[in-house]
Amino acid sequence: MFKNYFKIVFRNAKKNPLYVFINILGLSIGMAVSILIFLFVQHELSYDNYHENSDRIYRVSRNWYNLDGEVSLHLGHVAPPFGPLIKSDFADQVEEAVRLFNTDLLIKSGENSFIEEGFFFSDPEVFNVFSWNMIEGDPISSLNESDGVLISEDMAKKYFGDAPAVGKELIGEVQGLTLTFQVRGVFENIPDNTHMHPDFIATMNPVVQFFGGLEPFMQNFGSNSFSTYVLLNEGYDYKALESQLPALIDRNMGEAQAGVPMSKVTELHLWPIKDIHLYSNLDSEIEANGNIDYVYVYFAVALFILLIACINFMNLSTARSSLRSMEVGLRKVMGADRGRLVKQFMGESFVLTFISLIISVLIVYIFLPIFSDFTQKQLSLNFIQNPEYLAVMIGLAIGVGLLAGSYPALFLSGFSPSKVLKGAFKAGKGHENFRSFLVVGQFAISVVLIVAVIVVVRQLDFMQSKDLGFEKEDIVVLPVSTAIIENYQIIKDRLLNNPGIKGVSISSRVPSGRLLDSQGGSAEVNGEMSQLDVRIADIHVGHEFIKTYGIPIVAGRDFDFKMASDSSEAFILNEAAIRDIGWSSPEEAVGKKFNYGGRNGFVTGVMKDFHFESLHQPIVPIVFMITASRDRANQVSLKIDASRKEETMAYLQAEWADLNPGFPFEPIFVDEGFNQQYEAEQRVKTIFMFFSALAVLISVLGLLGLTTFATAQRTREIGIRKVMGAETNNILILLGKDFMKLVLIGFVIAVPISWFGMNSWLEDFSYKIGIGWTVFLWAGLIAGIIAGITVMSQSLKAAWADPVKSIKSE
């Protein structure tokens, strides 16, 4: 049976190569895109599934409320006591609780030294919760040692080559501390599809000692830097446990203020580990997570392109119905019933679809490395390791074959043999309308994707070009060491002697980072000291920070190094803080008493609101204060003269080798830091641009096929019209008006759909563009011009043909 279908497909290909080519190319592209997106979506949905107990592992998060009930901060990290307290207080529900503390550490081994971002301090039981496989060593005994560290396969090779790693020494440096570790085990590299990727897992002992010992460590509810996970016992509902956590907070933390329990100010939540990657985009995460919305977007784009390809198949098959009407009539006269004809035409559809599937798989293998690099995922189409992929591919081909072939099969098999053989066959009005509906759908989808491209590009341009309220260009940030902090003033003067350096300042955080630090306090409002009822983020800075970043002062003054009291009593707030505290104007705030984080002083200045964080976040209240300890100043910002950038960076690299021996020179530019915040949007832009181009290409191919066939069907009519005096423009209008009318209808339908979709996408941004009418105008023009050129190319060919030959063609 299939042998006959192959023969028929082959004969049709020889007779009508253009239509077969369009169908196979469209279906191949559509299925290739679908396979690529399937691999991406499958990878995104597989995060943390590999853990043996993934259904019972939950991460603890913590949020804070303002007194008006609004969430001011939600962290994926919590304070160190919460993990042990949850385990001890709910022993019947919780099997295990573990904490991990992640920090960047300078690691040295012999001549090798690298700053490692994947360094984690951990409780010994971490391997009881996560299914990470040890190659060598015992994790619990190793992490119970005061100097124990476990390293991944990659790190073992990086630091020790092919030599055994266990028993070797590693030196770590952070914030002036020097830590000596003994490698006591090696674990397999953490899989790609997980929300965290430790390369080093060290004993928690150095962190406990840094906090002053176990007792102060377990009393510290303010240092929310610990990733905390609980493994529930079989059969327990995490929501039931979560409902008991407010009581745990009140038992251990008491009241926030008189009559207000602490559980009204802060809450703990439990996150299923499998939900973290796609659903958790909190104010602090171990790594940047994905987003379920973008999974939906990619899936929708793949579906759109596949649908457009199927529409092409249906349109071209039904449009060419008259060419196969005689075949159908003869088959029916010879005894073929409608069911057999449906099987034949569906069989032809499946043959074309499976040929397209083979081509699409080849396309996927060619472009998969590029797509993997683009998505930053380790994607592969390996049928041996994943035999279920073969079932998915076959299912895809069957689904496409049914979708694309069902209507043409029912349509073609329904011809009346008597009318066909008499030459009276004509497709019904209903079939013509349905075909028009399909063309409208194609171009509606294309316009939606074009609008999406324009909106995403404009939003990205807006974010990257928006005035952030300070001078972000040519500011380089470098990490500092204890030696630099202790000799900061000397080193600062030394750096400023270089003509290429225009400003130097230290700080606890720099713009493009997150504002995660805050403390309580009070302010003088209406002549009385009132407790702050809003969260104010704090930044510890050097005296020159505001000047270095060019942040405007709107009232009062900047910090003054010559005024000794500024180091302990001066506060500079932004306008958002002034409004939320309750002062009527920046001028009113200057000179008012302000107590914050145990420091008592006055508001000496008010700075203009500026974007410290990305445009995803709103501008929040901020307070600047002069740093009083080396712990709070871990970065130095340097304003570089743009005209001397290259020579200044070379100078800094040489200086840093002297000032920070052993530390690699890894400068970060602030403007690049902001751009990195928009990497997800950059990928969405590229996806939309590429896939919308494919969608338009497939739509144009279909339109090309339809117009070619339509002009061929009207060749004699066109010849007669030209003999009767019709001009070329008359012919163009005759042939093009119906198609362009369908494109226009598709545009009208696409406008509200694309407006709603892109407005929803823009909701993720606190600062965004508006979607004006010009966006839809440009999208309509692009689609209309492309469609017009396609239709015109075939219409001109028919209009310029010799009318004598055209009349003789039938």
Per-residue pLDDT tens digits for 200-215:
999 999 999 988 889 9
Q: Give the pairing type, strands 148-152 and 635-640.
A: unpaired
Cα distances (Å, whole numbers) of residue 146 to 141, 235, 292: 10, 36, 41
Q: Which two tokens stand for residue 132?
A: 């990470």
Assess whether pLDDT exceeds 70 at residue 741.
yes
pLDDT at 182: 94
pLDDT at 577: 92
pLDDT at 324: 53
The rounded distance, in Å, linking the Cα atoms of 583 and 175 is 38
pLDDT at 417: 53
Angle subtended at Cα 622 by Cα 617 and Cα 624, rounded to the nearest 5 degrees = 140
Backbone angles phi, psi at 337, to 5 degrees: -90, 175
pLDDT at 806: 47
Q: Which helix (H) or strand (E) holds 179?
A: strand 177-187
Answer for the pair 317, 52: CB distance below 8 angstroms, yes or no. no
Q: Which helix (H) or strand (E) holds 87?
A: helix 82-89
Answer for the pair 188, 131: CB distance below 8 angstroms, yes or no. no
* pLDDT band for position 462 (cuts 50, 70, 90): confident
Lowest mean pLDDT among 431-440, 523-532, 550-559: 431-440
The string of DSSP letters for 751-765 reads HHHHHHHHHHHHTT-
Q: Nearest Cα to 666, choosing from 679, 676, 652?
A: 652
pLDDT at 338: 55
Which DSSP category does 189 fall into?
Answer: P
Contacts of 147 (CB under 8 A, 6+ apart): 179, 180, 181, 182, 203, 205
Residue labelled with tokens 């340097």: 638
Average pLDDT over residues 637-644: 90
Q: Which helix (H) or strand (E) holds 214?
A: helix 214-218
Q: Between the ranges 109-123, 570-584, 759-773, where is the mean pLDDT highest?
A: 570-584
Average pLDDT over residues 339-366: 79
* pLDDT band for position 730 (cuts 50, 70, 90): low
Contacts of 403 (CB under 8 A, 6+ apart): 310
Assess whether pLDDT exceeds 80 at residue 725.
no
Share of residues in the chain with pLDDT > 90 (%): 28
pLDDT at 722: 58
- What would the pLDDT profile of 494-504 be if each residue is shown by its tens digit? 888 889 989 89
Q: Which amino acid is at 683?
A: R
Lowest mean pLDDT among 145-159, 180-194, 382-396: 382-396
Q: Which residue has the higher pLDDT, 34 or 791?
A: 34
Q: Which residue has the higher pLDDT, 628 or 605?
A: 605
Q: Which residue has the higher pLDDT, 428 or 158?
A: 158
* pLDDT band for position 282 (cuts 50, 70, 90): confident
* pLDDT band for position 593 (cuts 50, 70, 90): very high
* pLDDT band for position 431 (cuts 50, 70, 90): low
Share of residues in the chain with pLDDT > 70 (%): 81
- Give the up-direction half-sphere exposure of residue 381: CA atoms within 13 A in the CB hemisphere: 24
Q: Taking the model in full, what pTM does it have? A: 0.82
Q: Give the pairing type, strands 260-261 and 57-65.
A: unpaired
Residue labelled with tokens 């996560």: 130
The rounded distance, in Å, linking the Cα atoms of 467 and 358 is 51
pLDDT at 1: 53
Q: Give the pairing type, strands 635-640 and 501-507.
A: antiparallel
The rounded distance, in Å, linking the Cα atoms of 7 and 466 is 62
**How far does Cα 274 stand from its chain's mean position?**
17
Assess whether pLDDT exceeds 70 at residue 60.
yes
pLDDT at 13: 62
Q: Which residue has the higher pLDDT, 11 or 605?
A: 605
What is the separation, in whole angstroms, between the first and last Cα of the chain?
35
Angle subtended at Cα 643 by Cα 640 and Cα 645, rounded to the nearest 5 degrees = 50
The rounded distance, in Å, linking the Cα atoms of 482 and 176 is 5
The rounded distance, in Å, linking the Cα atoms of 485 and 175 is 10
Q: Between the ranges 37-41, 382-386, 604-608, 761-765, where is the mean pLDDT highest?
A: 604-608
Assess whether pLDDT exceeds 80 at residue 510.
yes
Q: Mean pLDDT score of the chain, rounded to an integer? A: 82
- What would the pLDDT profile of 22-31 be if each residue is shown by its tens digit? 778 878 888 8
Q: Give the pairing type, strands 112-122 and 200-203.
A: parallel
- What would the pLDDT profile of 28-43 be if each residue is shown by its tens digit? 888 888 888 888 888 8
* pLDDT band for position 420 (cuts 50, 70, 90): very low
* pLDDT band for position 10 (cuts 50, 70, 90): low
Contacts of 195 (CB under 8 A, 6+ apart): 47, 48, 273, 276, 277, 280, 285, 286, 287, 289
Answer for the pair 747, 785: CB distance below 8 angstroms, yes or no. no
Assess whether pLDDT exceeds 70 at residue 720.
no
Answer for the pair 571, 624: CB distance below 8 angstroms, yes or no. yes
Answer for the pair 171, 109: CB distance below 8 angstroms, yes or no. yes
Assess whether pLDDT exceeds 80 at residue 692.
no
